[in-house]
Amino acid sequence: MFNLIKRLIISHSYIANYGYSDGSGDYYIILDSDKCTGCGKCVEACLVGVLENYVDDYDDEIVKVTEAHSKSIKYDCGPCIPVGGERDVKCEQVCEPKAITVSIKVKGLD
Amino acid sequence: MTQEKGSTTQEKEYWRWEETRWNSPDIDWKKADIITAGVDIGSVSSQAVVMCDGELYCYSNMRTGADSPDSAIRAMDWALEGTGMKVEDMHYIIGTGYGRVNVPFGNRTITEIACHARGANFMYGPTVKTVLDMGGQDCKAIKCDERGKVTTFLMNDKCAAGTGRGMEVFANLLAVPIGEVGELSLTVDEEPEPVSSTCVVYAKTEATGLLRAGWDKNKVLAAYCSAMAHRVFTLLERINVEKDFAITGGIAKNIGVVSRLEKELGLKALPAKYDTQIAGGIGACLFGKALIEKQRKAA
């Protein structure tokens, strides 16, 4: 309860887009800091270790994409979003507040 | 504002931009209540900014060397040169930018995204809603509220397209001093097709081909500037640009890219009152000031 009040009053919310666009398409993991509680379930669920817990600039404990992985989402998110295969995104599934979205758009496929 | 010239420009280094330093003639730092500093160690340039009670006191802007801690010290030393102030006189120092963990005298680090939003809020006023930071090695599209707090951000640090480094490569390739690239790219009679590749390496190959095909230097520059503008435009599109719009970072000084981007957006960027490269440093100073005020209040 205290956490909820703290989030309502003190914390600051923003939407973080981690990832990149390159010649082949757009690869982003979008995180809503307002919804994210920092529970870390997605961190555990990720097969590759793309996500990590951290304290943001406004002193909120939330989740982010690691610096190294944010440059290779196209490949790192492959196990959950195989090209031409069924979409089975673990982090999105375990996130109760629906704070995380993986948005991968490969040119010529969608 | 008077600006002193930085290190000497050697003839064949076309990429070499001017390093600058400035300090306020009107502020007596000894009378200041809160002195904070922001050290922004970027991949290409480093800035040390010092603010007294929320007002800009001095700054330096220079190239980042191979050694980040050393770059931080050099930038700070240069900023403080002749002021009599020492690092010990400062109440709070924040490191930001790519090499922020390497600021030896820093009290804490804050990401450059938060700092640029805060800095732009100070530099361009509270009406700024969208900030585009065109850095040396990455590009960030940030949306913020009227207090300079980030509401959305998108960072592209995977690829050098649309960054200062890319522009340096082109300045060297075409043997045009980097400060003149923007102006020269606007001298073309007819706007050429942008170079088709977003990748700097491929764009360079393409440009070499265009030169061989007899294209004028300025026309090649125009093709590259317009490709770069389009590239950042697609980034901005993702976050939905809102008025007022401001550009920070080194490329904000390149009128060739800025004017083409403005055209594509159908929106003018706010004119810069300060050196656009120090936005991150200013933001860091303001964060430091807020932290000190919070600490004093609690005590």
CATH number at residue A18: 3.30.70.20
Q: CA–CA separation, A76 vs A97, rounded Å?
A: 23
B250, B281: one domain: no
CA separation for the pair A37, A41 (Å, rounded): 10
Q: Cβ of B155 under 8 Å from any chain A Cβ?
A: yes
- What is the 3-state secondary structure of chain A? CHHHHHHHHCCCCCEEEEEEEECCEEEEEEEECCCCCCCCHHHHHCCCCCEEEEECCCCCEEEEECCCHHHCHHHHCCCCCCCCCCCCCHHHHHCCCCCEEEEEEECCCC
Q: State whether B177 and B101 are in the same domain.
A: no
- Predicted local distance difference test score (pLDDT) of residue B1: 46
Q: What is the CATH number of the domain that holds B89?
A: 3.30.420.40
With bands split at pLDDT 50, 70 and 90, how would you rate the model's confidence at B74?
very high
pLDDT in tens, chain A (110 residues): 555 555 555 567 899 999 988 778 889 999 999 999 999 999 999 999 999 999 988 888 999 999 889 889 999 999 999 877 888 999 999 999 999 999 998 887 75
Give the model's pLDDT for residue B201.
85
* Radius of gyration of chain B from its Cα atoms, rounded to whole angstroms: 19
Name the strand (E) or helix (H) holding B20: strand B20-23
Contacts of A14 in chain B (CB under 8 A): 149-153
State whether B58 and B159 are in the same domain: no
Let me know whether B115 and B134 are in one domain. Answer: no
Residue B288 · residue B72 · CB < 8 Å: no
Q: Is B19 helix (H, G, I), strand (E, B) or coil?
A: coil
CB contact under 8 A, A70 and B157: yes
Whether residues B265 and B281 share a domain: the answer is no
| Judgement on whether residues B117 and B134 belong to the same structural domain of the protein | no
Alpha-carbon distance B69 to B104, whole Å? 6
B3 CA to chain A: closest CA distance, Å?
A: 33
Contact A14 B238 (CB under 8 A): no
pLDDT of residue B83 exceeding 70, the answer is yes
Least confident of A103-107, B156-160, B186-190: B156-160
**Band of residue B40 on the pLDDT scale cut at 50, 70, 90:** very high
Can you tell me the distance from the alpha carbon of B269 to that of A28, in angstroms, rounded to the nearest whole number? Answer: 27
Percent of chain B with pLDDT over 70: 96
Q: Give the chain A residue nearest B142 (alpha carbons).
A: A16
CA B117 distance to own-chain centroid: 12
**pLDDT confidence of residue A2:** 56
Handedness of CA B72, B74, B79, B82 (dihedral sign): positive
In angstroms, the CA A26 to CA A40 distance is: 25
Q: B105 with B76: CB under 8 angstroms?
A: yes
B63 burial via Cβ count (<10 Å: 0-12, 13-18, 19+): middle
Is it the case that residue B157 has pLDDT exceeding 80?
no
B211 at the A interface (CB within 8 A)?
no
Contact B49, B123 (CB under 8 A): no
Residues of B in contact with A16 (CB under 8 A): 152-153
ipTM computed for the complex: 0.78
- Looking only at the bridges linking them, the beta strands covering A15-22 and B150-156 are parallel
**Is the domain of B16 the same as that of B113?**
yes
CB contact under 8 A, A57 and B159: no
Distance CA B255, CA B165 (A): 17
* Interchain contact, B153 vs A17, CB within 8 Å: yes
Domain hosting B181: range is 129-269
Distance between A104 CA and the closest CA of chain B, angstroms: 13
pLDDT (average), residues B9-14? 67
Instruction: Report yes or no: B272 at the A interface, CB cutoff 8 Å.
Output: no
Number of domains in chain A: 1
Residue numbers of the domain that contains A99: 2-106
Same domain? B176 vs B70: no
DSSP output for B219-248 = HHHHHHHHHHHHHHHHHHHHH---SSEEEE
Binned at pLDDT 50, 70 and 90, residue B6 comes out as low
Taking the C-alpha atoms of residue B265 and residue B267, their distance in angstroms, rounded to an integer, is 5
The number of distinct structural domains making up chain B is 2
Domain check: are B253 and B141 in the same one? yes
**What's the average model confidence in pLDDT over B25-30?**
91
Secondary structure (3-state) at B65:
coil
User: Do B117 and B152 lie in a common domain?
Assistant: no
Q: Which amino acid is at B80?
A: L
The answer to whether the CB of B280 falls within 8 A of the CB of B97 is yes
- Residue whose structure tokens are 């065109």: B134
Q: Are residues B260 and B283 in the same domain?
A: no
- B36 and B163, same structural domain? no
Q: For residue range B12-27, what is the model confidence (pLDDT) as tens digits?
A: 788 888 899 999 999 9
Half-sphere exposure of residue B165: CA atoms within 13 angstroms, side-chain side: 18
* End-to-end CA, chain B: 38
Query: How many CB pairs below 8 Å do chains A and B form together?
Result: 51
> Which residue in chain A has the smallest CA separation from B154?
A17
Say how far apart CA B208 and CA B212 lie, in whole Å. Answer: 6
Query: Encoding tokens for residue B228?
Result: 């770069």
What CA–CA distances, in Å, run from B173 to A30, B169, B276? 37, 6, 25
- CB of B196 less than 8 A from some CB of A: no
